[in-house]
Structure 1
Amino acid sequence: MEGLTIPWFAAIIGLVLAIILILKKFNPVYSLFLGAIVGCLVGGASLEATVDVLVNGTQSIIGTAIRVLAAGMLAGVMMESGAAESIAHGIVSKLGEKKAILSLALSTMVITAVGVFIPVAVLIVAPIALSVGKQTNISKLALMTALSGGGKAGNIISPNPNTIAASNGFDLNLSQVMLAGFIPAVFGLITTVLVANLIKNKGDKVKDSDIEEKEVGDLVPLHKALVAPVLSIILLLINPIGTLLHIQVLADLKVDAMYILPFASVIGTIAMGKKEHVALYASEGLKRVTDTVLILIGAGAVAGLIAHSDLSQQVVSLIDAVGISGTFLAPISGILMGLAVGSTSTAVILATGSFGESILATGTSALSAAVMVHTGAVVIDSVPQGNYFHISANSMHMSIKDRLKVVPYEVCIGFTMTAVATILYGFILK
């Protein structure tokens, strides 16, 4: 396989085939594998070389997959213990109905930021949003925009699969990418609140039938619910804080999400008085991330195809011919992959694996590249071929047509975060 270069058009054929199969509701993992295989064969690779390309591609994401499995335990603890729901209720009750949109957006942002996957975060906050929307007469369109925008903002600063993929793709510590995404995330939250307030009277209102009667049991005390996420964030920040404050002992202490997230999860479970449920939470968390890990493996296969093609060189040449800065390759690759696959984590895997070397070759630092790719991936990832689109629509009792109306506002929010990240890391701090 040494010296194998697959023509760019074959890589595109493989990627397009994978996307078409996903849109046809074919299993995403097999869709990605079939696309990678067809791309290799169309590009002239032998059967043996095709296998090597796929194996090398999937091997490249194993580090990411292991860390995603570790993140699953934190997600399991936050979701199954009721800690995430407690945080959401705490924020909404503190801010009140007058700041309903801010409270809903902030709730989803915080829950996603502490390690809950964005579709689950929306599922958790949606019943609260519908109840608040009914009382305040805010439209479903605005409510969905608030939840999704807040989730996107939280997603770029969380220990979630997408952030793990961004950090591993450029050989960075997870905490570095989480911290670097903070300013774009703040702008994302601000944009979400502004946009949602502008459209709060536009579209269908919440109906009585949309609100499900649900008994709210005893919520976990907020200070206990915050133990696991706060501890995980503090531990992950040990190295960056040491570097920033020139404390050599801390700077040399290399912590990793692989063991930090499970450790914080166990301590958090004990703090909530639920230590007997540790095994259950771990098991449920594993179930939550299994599909994600499998899709990441499929994405690795396609990334292997693209990495062995000259597609990235062709894209760089096109950018040079158009006359725009090569810095834009990072956000553009994230945006295109997010649109293609409808998954932030898969998009980041594909973008870093396919264009990573070319992005760094433009003189962009690894951290800047990671943030720009990462924020780019959340611009147009809420599309019908992705699970998030349908999960969020069902959670808010919206038709596909009504859910599609939210996409332009989600793009506006995602693009704002990408623009801020590109200006800040692509030019000012490059």
Structure 2
Amino acid sequence: MVEGVSIGWWAALIGLALAIVLILKKVNATYALLLGAVVGCLIGGASLPKTVDVIVAGGQSVMGTIVRVLAAGVLAGVMMESGAANRIAQTIVDKLGEGLAILSLALATMIICAVGVFIPVAVLIVAPIAMQVGERLKISKLALLVALSGGGKAGNIISPNPNTIAVASGFNIQPSQVMIGSFIPAVFGLAMAVFLATILRGRGAMPTAIDAGEDGQAKKDDKELPSIGRSLVAPIIAVVLLLINPIGSMLHISLLTKFQVDAMYILPLAAIIGLLAMGQGKHILDYTKSGLQRMTDVVLILVGAGAIGGLITNSDLAAQIVRLIKAWGVSGSLLAPLAGILMAAATASTSTGVILGSKSFGSAILDFGVTPTAAAVTMQAGATVIDHLPHGNYFHVTANAMKMTVGERMKSVLFESLVGLTMTVVAVIFYAIF
């Protein structure tokens, strides 16, 4: 909170609504969020100097997340540029075979996401393989996208990706705690994705030979990819090191609990070791540069999200929403997933949704007695329900990957939402019981 600033809830809503409208009008998301924050502050009664203070404070609040996201870029760059992600995807599909084609595609996307690759990039990696399988087995593009997107959502909540880092930072816990807490919801999300895709396999347009062959370099370049063993070195090291402390806490092993590490240096370390294991150490500068470039848009959006988060934090919007929840008799434990759903829908972004949700409603959520881990897990799961709307990049990237028109892509939105809703319900039930 910025001293001497008190902004009305209505002004915060107007600022947020303005940002959403601008995003829908294809204005750069970072500028849209910044402008929404400025307008909200000014009409809410803040002076020009205080408006600057609110924006700067909001940006400062996300610096920890930004540093960790940049570190995650090293791992993402290595996994994608080295061919390790492609090798993992191909191996899963080949090993499970045609009889479990839909499961193999969903699982491949889930694992690619889980090892630190962004969900749109994970879909791009698996899509050429999916189109080849779909053309051969007569599985519709709709079913394929639901499998890939649903599997990606499941992997996204158990990964060291920006969304996990952001929600963990928002509630002052380690990303590994969110990853472990989200595992059971992720499994249910994967199962729902496979179930829905199986039902839909005969609905909609089928991949053509042109669709399957246009991007189909996977088999041709197979010999150039690293082996599956070497491809798994980086993600295994990252996951093992990140999980040592949480597992020690769960099992009450004091020696393990003393092993406190941070994703800020674990992810780059694992990436470099994995790169050396693949014999590609000479490419370290190129791959890390690529990873940094892929993170640039995410970092910029986080700055904008921090700004509008500062607007909401310095308003009484959270207090008004809490008052409504109490008046309606709704359980306070539902505030976290609801905040995730609404903020991610507004920005069409999981990462931006959880950072807005945690920064704006974090204190109010914890005041209900919700534990930080439960709040983080349920909010992140909620953010996957409708984060794939047309005003976000993910919608269009995946449409292009699957050679779908906007109309065809819209048909999958409901089914993707059912996957996210499944994970949210499971997360809420799990933490409500345990």
Cα shift readout 1:73-109 (whole Å, capped 9, x = no counterpart)? 0000000000000000000000011111000000000
Amino acid at match of 1:78: M
Amino acid at match of 1:147: L
Tell me, in whole angstroms, the C-alpha distance in 1 between the residues paired with 2:269 and 2:55.
34
Amino acid at match of 1:428: I
Tell me, in whole angstroms, the C-alpha distance in 1 between the residues paired with 2:250 and 2:101.
37
How far apart are residue 325 of structure 1 and its match? Answer: 0.8
Q: Which runs of 4+ in 1 moved over 6 A?
A: none
Tell me, in whole angstroms, the C-alpha distance in 2 between the residues paired with 1:245 and 1:301.
40
Tell me, in whole angstroms, the C-alpha distance in 1 between the residues paired with 2:140 and 2:150.
15
Of residues 365, 372, 380 in structure 1, which corresponds to 2:378?
Answer: 372
Cα shift readout 1:7-30 (whole Å, capped 9, x = no counterpart)? 111001101111111111111111
- Matched residue, 1:194: 195
- Matched residue, 1:79: 80
Tell me, in whole angstroms, the C-alpha distance in 2 between the residues paired with 1:66 and 1:274.
25
Q: What are the ranges of 5 or more consecutive residues in structure 1 without an aligned counterpart?
A: none
**What are the within-5 Å matches in structure 2 for residues 148-297 of structure 1?**
148-211=149-212, 212=214, 213-214=216-217, 215-218=220-223, 219-297=225-303
- Matched residue, 1:386: 392
How far apart are residue 247 of structure 1 and its match? Answer: 2.7
How far apart are residue 249 of structure 1 and its match? Answer: 2.5
- Matched residue, 1:129: 130
Tell me, in whole angstroms, the C-alpha distance in 2 between the residues paired with 1:192 and 1:290.
30
- Is 1:428 aligned to 2:429, yes or no? no
User: Percentage identity across aligned positions?
Assistant: 59
Tell me, in whole angstroms, the C-alpha distance in 2 between the residues paired with 1:394 and 1:400.
9
**What are the within-5 Å matches in structure 2 for residues 265-344 of structure 1?**
265-344=271-350
How far apart are residue 248 of structure 1 and its match? Answer: 1.8
Amino acid at match of 2:105: L
TM-score normalised to the size of structure 1? 0.98
* Aligned-partner SS, 2:139: coil
- Matched residue, 1:398: 404
- Matched residue, 1:103: 104
Tell me, in whole angstroms, the C-alpha distance in 1 between the residues paired with 2:14 and 2:251.
50
Q: Which stretch shows the higher mean deviation, 241-250 or 390-399? A: 241-250
RMSD of aligned residue pairs (Cα, Å): 0.8
Tell me, in whole angstroms, the C-alpha distance in 2 between the residues paired with 1:283 and 1:23.
31
Cα shift readout 1:275-334 (whole Å, capped 9, x = no counterpart)? 111111111100010110010011000000000011111111111111111111110000
Tell me, in whole angstroms, the C-alpha distance in 1 between the residues paired with 2:409 and 2:250.
43
Cα shift readout 1:361-383 (whole Å, capped 9, x = no counterpart)? 11100000000110000100000
- Matched residue, 1:23: 24
Amino acid at match of 2:405: S
How far apart are residue 186 of structure 1 and its match? Answer: 0.2
Amino acid at match of 1:107: A
How far apart are residue 246 of structure 1 and its match? Answer: 2.8
**What are the within-5 Å matches in structure 2 for residues 21-60 of structure 1?**
21-60=22-61
Of residues 419, 422, 432 in structure 2, which corresponds to 1:413?
Answer: 419
- Matched residue, 1:89: 90
Amino acid at match of 1:254: Q
* Aligned-partner SS, 1:237: helix
TM-score normalised to the size of structure 2? 0.97
- Matched residue, 1:12: 13
